[in-house]
Amino acid sequence: MNRRSALKALAVLGGLGLGVGASFRVDAKGRPNLVSLPDAFDEVDHFGITHQVRDGVAFRIPEPSLRKDIVIVGGGISGLTALYRLGEYDCLLVEKEDAFGGNSRRRQSRGIYYPLGALVSQGPVFPFIDFFRELDVPFEPVLGSRLAYHVRGRLVEDPLAEDGWRHLPFSRREREGFRRVRDDLAALRHPIDGIFFPRADNRADVRRLDRITLSRYIADKGYPEAVSHFLKLMLSSRLGETGEDVSAWIALYLLSNLPAPAYTLPGGHGAISEILRERCEAIRPNALMTGFTAIRVENRPDGKVWVTGCADDGSLQTIEARCAVMAVPKVFTKHAVVGLREERPEVYDRFRYNAYLVAQVELSRRVAPAFETASASRFSRFIVAADWLLGNRDPQGSSHLTVYVPYPGSAGRIELFGGSARQLAARIVADLNAILPRSRGAIETVRLHRWGHPMVGCTPGMDDVLNAAKQPFGNIVFAHSDSFGITGLYSAVWTGMEASSDARIVLEDI
Ligand SMILES: Cc1cc2nc3c(=O)[nH]c(=O)nc-3n(C[C@H](O)[C@H](O)[C@H](O)COP(=O)(O)OP(=O)(O)OC[C@H]3O[C@@H](n4cnc5c(N)ncnc54)[C@H](O)[C@@H]3O)c2cc1C
């Protein structure tokens, strides 16, 4: 069938109404190919009730109908970690969605697990080695090509690997810049002279990187523009923003891991949430509740805390506890915890967040040259092959790509939440066809999720703000990865552990 007759056939199909919810494309050989595009977003994070709290809607607060030692608000990795560490108490964890894991959730289709959000880390590193060993988390190293860089119409595999920079379509000076940045990032991984947590233990000159932005650092280093663009692009994959406002310390802490081994699991970190949930259920059955959106958390005059929430059917319930753990983003905590903003003006409003669009793309065959593909200029910036792990493949040969597009700042969030699902999906299909030529004719369906506040912004000098934000407030203590300045697996676990210690202090009245 030639291109013209293919288009004619498609016009007939469209006339029969078979084109509803689909976009017709013609592959490189002129064959028709039907891509199923969404009419709406497949929302995985629901804000209806939390936005009412933000907007100051008054709720009628009922008397407590349940009493607990501890109520944990939020069932992401930080809340689940807190629950896991507080198993000896009578705890209840409440989660607004119908599943646990927050930004670390996964789903499965055609035998392939894929991530809704988080997926990659450095594996079981210090100081989390014992924690992940205890949970028996089966991290797998990303084998084969880890990163392909799509730039100037070319796909270059592993540009930071030993010889990868030599293949970049740049001038000799620019390629040398890539070699230099690779060596500089490797030096930053030195266990004593490099960059590591906690920042207080870093050398003074490394600590000072927190006073400048990544952009300033890049300018001081004199890296060529091509290198600067690459670093900012890769930072935006990890944080959702590019480096103009980001602390150089935070940025380099993340970027220094680029040439290091990466680890993932089938479907990414959703696998870890599931392990944590199972462990919590085994220790304390009935301590986990879904479909309960906390709307108000209040220190009472008698030393108790009231946590009021809204169930899916709209009914309100108050739980009385000796302590509450807020394992939800500060952007919500500041509205829900009574008196918090008034007590700590200037703290919680300093938190900035970056939104994300995530696309799930099903294909008839495997098309990706690397685990992650980053595009220098296309809208679809980061493409991850969910089935890169050998044990996470469809025996029939179909495959799955997850596409991540950051939308920085509040302007980005407004743009994302005003966008048309169909148009965004069509744009992603066009990008994939351009970036990964093997995807032409292979894309079958596209689904889209939107994340409103997953990534916290990290301006220089945020440390004081972060420390102030996580100080216990009466009998309310704070988890959530945003307390750490970087939202990631380790910060979620770390803040969950810190909050469990704070909760223990409250309960034991130490
Ligand atoms: C697209 C995307 C990609 C990412 N990629 C990576 C990655 O590759 N590696 C990495 O390390 N990290 C990544 N992250 C960061 C990820 O956010 C963290 O790794 C981690 O999952 C955060 O866990 P948390 O518990 O701190 O927060 P969250 O995951 O935000 O958990 C908060 C929980 O609280 C619930 N909640 C909110 N409000 C209420 C309420 N009022 N009442 C009850 N429950 C409520 C939410 O539904 C959610 O379950 C990514 C995130 C996203 C969105």
Whether residue 3 has pLDDT greater than 70: no
61 or 350, greater pLDDT: 61
CA distance 146 to 287: 39
- State the pLDDT confidence band at 90, using cuts at 50, 70 and 90: very high
Distance of alpha carbon 113 from alpha carbon 121, whole angstroms? 17
Choose between 496 and 29: higher pLDDT.
496
Distance 454 CA to ligand 1 centre (A): 6
Average pLDDT over residues 473-502: 95
Residue 37 in any domain: the answer is: no
23 C-beta neighbours (distance < 10 Å), count: 17
Mean pLDDT of all residues in 250-272: 95
Determine the distance separating the centroid of ligand 1 and the alpha carbon of 394, expressed in angstroms. Answer: 28
49 alpha carbon to ligand 1 midpoint, in Å? 18
392 domain-assigned: no
- Taking residues 252-278, report their average pLDDT: 95
Q: How confident is the model at residue 147 (pLDDT cuts 50, 70, 90)?
A: very high
Residue 120 maps to a domain: no
CA 431 to ligand 1 center in whole angstroms: 27
Residue with the nearest Cα to atom 1 of ligand 1? 117
User: Which one has a higher pLDDT value, 455 or 363?
Assistant: 363
pLDDT bin (cut points 50, 70, 90) of residue 352 is confident
Beta bridge partner(s), residue 218: none
What DSSP assignment string belongs to 390-447? TTS--TT--EEEEEEEEE-HHHHHHHHHHS-HHHHHHHHHHHHHHH-GGGTTTEEEEE
Assess if residue 332 is contained within a domain: yes
Ligand 1 binding pocket mutation candidate from 57, 71, 264, 328 (most atoms within 8 A of CB):
328
CA-273 nearest atom, ligand 1: 21
Q: Are residues 278 and 343 in the same domain?
A: yes
| pLDDT score recorded for residue 456 | 81
Same domain, residue pair 218 and 88: no
Residue 11's pLDDT band (boundaries 50, 70, 90)? Answer: very low
pLDDT of residue 33: 60
Q: What percent of the chain has pLDDT over 70?
A: 93
- Say which range, 173-187, 197-211, 315-329, 363-377, has the weakest mean pLDDT: 197-211
- Shared-domain flag, residues 341 and 472: yes
**87 and 231, same domain (yes or no):** no
Same domain membership, residue 468 and residue 346: yes
Average of per-residue pLDDT across 168-188: 96
Residue among 53, 71, 73, 103 to mutate when testing ligand 1 (max atoms within 8 A of CB): 103
Q: Is the CB of 488 under 6 A from ligand 1?
A: yes
pLDDT of residue 25: 53
Q: Domain total for the chain?
A: 2
pLDDT band at residue 8 under the 50/70/90 scheme: very low
pLDDT tens across 403-415, in order?
A: 999 998 888 999 9
The whole-number pLDDT of residue 28 equals 52
How far apart CA 365 and CA 333 sit, in angstroms, is 44
101: containing domain: 65-105+267-351+459-508
Q: What is the number of the ligand 1 atom nearest to the C-alpha of 97? A: 47
What's the pLDDT score for residue 241? 87
Backbone angles phi, psi at 114, to 5 degrees: -135, 150
Q: How high is the mean pLDDT of the chain?
A: 91
- pLDDT tens digits, 216-253: 999 999 999 999 999 999 999 888 888 888 999 999 99
Q: Kindly give the distance from the C-alpha atom of residue 406 to the centroid of ligand 1, in angstroms, as a whole number.
A: 15
Same domain for 274 and 252: no
**Ligand 1 lined by 389 (C-beta under 6 Å):** no
- Does residue 291 sit in the same domain as residue 235? no
Q: Which of 49, 51, 487 to mutate to test the pocket of ligand 1 (most atoms within 8 A of CB)?
A: 487
Number of H helices, E strands in the chain: 16, 20
Predicted confidence at residue 455, as pLDDT, reads 80
Average pLDDT over residues 178-196: 94
Could you tell me the pLDDT band of residue 61, with boundaries at 50, 70 and 90?
very high
Q: Whose alpha carbon is nearest atom 38 of ligand 1?
A: 328
Q: Is the pLDDT of residue 424 over 80?
A: yes
Q: What is the pLDDT of residue 29?
A: 55
pLDDT score recorded for residue 409 = 87
Whether the CB of 240 sits within 6 Å of ligand 1: no
Indicate if ligand 1 lies below 6 Å from the C-beta of 354: no
Distance 437 CA to ligand 1 centre (A): 33
Q: Which of 20-34, 281-295, 327-341, 428-442 has the lowest mean pLDDT?
A: 20-34
Please report which confidence band the pLDDT of residue 15 belongs to, taking 50, 70 and 90 as the band edges.
very low
Atom of ligand 1 nearest to the CA of 293: 42
Residue closest to 323 by CA, chosen among 100, 102, 466, 478: 478
Which one of 226, 260, 294 terminates a domain? 260
pLDDT, tens digit, for every residue of 119-140? 999 999 888 999 999 999 999 9
Q: Are residues 253 and 278 in the same domain?
A: no
Task: Please identify, by atom number, the ligand 1 atom nearest to the C-alpha of residue 295.
Answer: 41
| pLDDT for residue 5 | 41
Q: How many angstroms separate the alpha carbon of residue 508 from the centre of ligand 1?
A: 29
> Closest Cα to atom 15, ligand 1: which residue?
488
260: CA distance to ligand 1 center in Å?
24
- Provide the token pair at 343: 């007590």
The top-scoring range by mean pLDDT among 17-31, 208-222, 337-351 is: 208-222
Q: Are residues 250 and 284 in the same domain?
A: no
Q: What is the mean pLDDT of residues 85-111?
A: 97
Selection from 507, 484, 478 nearest residue 72 by Cα: 478
Q: Which residues contact residue 92 at a Cβ distance below 8 angstroms, ignoring those fewer than 6 apart?
A: 66, 68, 70, 71, 72, 287, 288, 289, 319, 321
Q: Are residues 287 and 329 in the same domain?
A: yes
Last residue of a domain, one of 260, 291, 307: 260
The verdict on residue 276 lying in a domain is yes
Residue 102 Cα: closest atom of ligand 1: 49
Query: ipTM of this model?
Result: 0.99
The reported pLDDT for the residue numbered 24 is 47
Same domain, 273 and 251: no
Distance of CA 79 from the midpoint of ligand 1 (Å): 10
* Lowest-pLDDT range of 19-33, 69-83, 102-116: 19-33
Q: Are residues 272 and 346 in the same domain?
A: yes
Q: Is residue 478 in some structural domain? A: yes
135 occurs within a structural domain: no
Q: What is the CATH number of the domain that holds 347?
A: 3.50.50.60
| Residue 75: inside a domain | yes
103 lines ligand 1 (CB under 6 A): yes
Residue 9 in this model has a pLDDT that exceeds 50: no
Q: How much is the pLDDT for 484?
A: 87
Residue with the smallest CA separation from ligand 1 atom 14 is 118
Burial class of residue 492, CB neighbours in 10 A (0-12, 13-18, 19+)? buried
Question: What pLDDT was estimated at residue 464?
Answer: 85
- 97 C-beta closer than 6 A to ligand 1: yes
Average pLDDT of the residues in 71-78: 98
The residue from 216, 243, 260 where one domain ends is 260
CB distance 372 to ligand 1 below 6 Å = no
Check whether 12 has a pLDDT greater than 60: no
